[in-house]
Structure 1
Amino acid sequence: MGPCETFHMSACRVPRRLTSRRRLTLLAAGAAAASLTLSACGDGASGGSAQTRFVQGKDGIDTVKKDERQAAPDLSGETTTGKKLDVAAYKGKVVIVNVWGSWCGPCIAEAPNFAKVANETKGKGVQFVGINTRDSEKSQATSFEEEHKVPYPSLFDPTGRLMLRFPKGSLNPQSIPSTIAIDRHGRIAARSIGPLAENELRKMIAPLVAEK
């Protein structure tokens, strides 16, 4: 599996014996599935609109005003080490959600930055959580975590289902890696698409830590 791939679902051929109505239903479903794409190892491109209501920062970090933020979706399941985890349990903290894969070059590059900042901001009410995706075996993810001394848990999401839970028009993850910042009230506050340098990661976190 190489970098810079795209998740996609293609519409299947419809058997001739199906009725016209059934054929149209299946084709419509296939088209809808095909529209759910997620780029791997993205280049960081993103944009804002009146519908999404977020501001695209010059540093690549998109933000949303406090009164326009949407609630984060249900991000729960089993971690790479087999434990149960529900991100909602961290409400009251600033939560940094990093989408990554052990096979992704940019994820490897940013891993030391995330480990360092996670350790240094833990005492300030910041909780890091990973979402590991496109790794078929948990052992691939845990080897990555051990090698890069990742100090926080990651949900194991090989098919990318958790990323599709983000509400339409929100700052949703669109590439691997992507980083989502959730405020103390459980709302989506900021996003970065692509790898983050240490100073960029701190710049994403600092305003949310300062919020009352």
Structure 2
Amino acid sequence: MRRVVLLVAGLMLAVTACSSGQQAAQNRQGQAGFVSGNGNVSVFAAADRKPAPELTGTTFDGKPWTLSDHRGKVVVLNVWGSWCPPCRKEAPDLVGAAKELGSSVQFIGLNTRDQDQAQAKKFVQEFGVPYPNLYDPSGKALLRFRGQIAPAAIPTTLVIDKSGKVAARVVGEVTKQTLVGMAKDAG
């Protein structure tokens, strides 16, 4: 009887270890393991703003993109993943804000942890995203924003002022109205 109990306990331990390993694999693939924020808005006074790190990459259409090239203009950076339900929910609001603000604000998307760029491109096409997006499957570009964006807090949106400093942040879904107001205040 003792052997049966030990055998059952050993099997349960093995099954638990497998499911934990599967969850960890899903986390690495960006399919789970994200923490969606509650839409918490932080606005920083001009004297308290910290510089945004340099962000560079290649857009989905193959063009180089560098944050510092947009100094002198307000920039909205949205970190998203096609696998992220809150990202899908906020996409129409981001598109609406980008269209309303027009060329007065530079929008850039940072797609993170999508292992298949085709999925990310499909998301952009599905929602009619009019602004460029960078592909960051490993999260290296996102990690440059440590202290300003939590790596697991997807989606997060930053508003970067004309001097390249972070003026506002939304952790979680952003609405069009909030984003338009933050971008205008940063200008």
TM-score when scaled to structure 2? 0.78
Query: Hey, what does 1:20 align to over in structure 2?
Result: none
2: CA distance, partners of 1:156 / 1:121 = 24
For 1:186-205, list aligned pairs within 5 A.
186-205=164-183
Q: Within the alignment, does 1:109 sit opposite 2:86 as a pair?
A: no
User: How many residues are aligned here?
Assistant: 160
* AA in 2 matched with 1:90: H
Gaps of 5+ in 2: 1-21
Q: Within the alignment, does 1:150 sit opposite 2:129 as a pair?
A: yes
Q: Paired residue for 1:76, among 30, 33, 56?
A: 56
Q: Within the alignment, does 1:40 sit opposite 2:34 as a pair?
A: yes
Q: Relative to 1, partners in 2 of residues 1:173 and 1:154: Cα closer, same or farther, differing over 3 Å?
A: farther
Residue aligned with 1:72, SS: coil
2: CA distance, partners of 1:141 / 1:128 = 17
Task: Give the root-mean-square deviation of aligned CA atoms.
Answer: 2.3
Q: Paired residue for 1:161, among 130, 140, 144?
A: 140
Q: CA offsets per residue over residues 135-178 of structure 1, 9 Å max, x none?
A: 1122111111111000001111011111211254xx33441100
Query: What's the CA shift for 1:183?
Result: 0.1
Q: Within the alignment, does 1:208 sit opposite 2:186 as a pair?
A: yes
Query: Hey, what does 2:149 align to over in structure 1?
Result: 172
Structure 1 outlier segments of 4+, above 4 Å: none
| Structure (1 or 2) with the greater helix fraction | 2
Query: Hey, what does 2:18 align to over in structure 1?
Result: none
Q: Within the alignment, does 1:91 sit opposite 2:71 as a pair?
A: yes
Residue aligned with 2:96, SS: helix
1: CA distance, partners of 2:150 / 2:169 = 8
Gaps of 5+ in 1: 8-38, 45-58
Q: CA offsets per residue over residues 81-136 of structure 1, 9 Å max, x none?
A: 3221111111111100000011111111110111111011024x211100001111
Percentage of identical aligned residues:
38
Q: CA offsets per residue over residues 171-190 of structure 1, 9 Å max, x none?
A: 33441100011000011111
Query: Hey, what does 2:160 align to over in structure 1?
Result: 182
Query: What's the CA shift for 1:41?
Result: 4.4
Residue aligned with 2:182, SS: helix
Query: Hey, what does 1:33 align to over in structure 2?
Result: none
Q: Which has the larger radius of gyration?
A: 2
